[in-house]
Amino acid sequence: MSSRGGVIGINTAVIAGAQGICFAVASNAAQFVLSELIMHGLRLRAFIGVAAQTVAVPRRHARAAEIDNAFGAMITATEPDKPADVAGLMSYDVVVRLDGVPVTGVDDLIWLLNGERIGRAVAVDVLRRGQLRSFEAHPTERRSK
Residues 21-26: contacts with CB within 8 Å, 24+ apart?
Answer: none
Provide DSSP, 2-67.
-TTS---EEEEEEETTTTTEEEEEEHHHHHHHHHHHHHHSS--BEE--EEEEEEEPPHHHHHHHT-
- Residue 50 pLDDT grade (very low, low, confident, very high; cuts 50, 70, 90): very high
Average pLDDT over residues 123-140: 96
Range of lowest pLDDT (48-52, 82-86, 107-111): 107-111
21 against 48, higher pLDDT: 48
- Residue 10 pLDDT grade (very low, low, confident, very high; cuts 50, 70, 90): confident
pTM, to two decimals: 0.75
Residues 6+ apart with CB under 8 A from 86: 137, 138
Average pLDDT over residues 76-93: 97
Q: How far apart are CA 98 and CA 108, in angstroms?
A: 9
Residues 6+ apart with CB under 8 A from 134: 123, 124, 125, 126
pLDDT of 17 reads: 74
Q: Is the pLDDT of residue 145 over 70?
A: no
Q: Is the pLDDT of residue 20 over 80?
A: no
Q: Are 127 and 93 in contact (CB under 8 A)?
A: yes
Average pLDDT over residues 101-126: 93
Residues 6+ apart with CB under 8 A from 43: 33, 36, 37, 115
Share of the chain above pLDDT 70, in %: 85
29 against 136, higher pLDDT: 136
End-to-end CA distance of the chain: 35
Domains and CATH numbers, the chain: 9-40 (no CATH), 46-141 (2.30.42.10)
19 against 58, higher pLDDT: 58
Average pLDDT over residues 60-84: 95
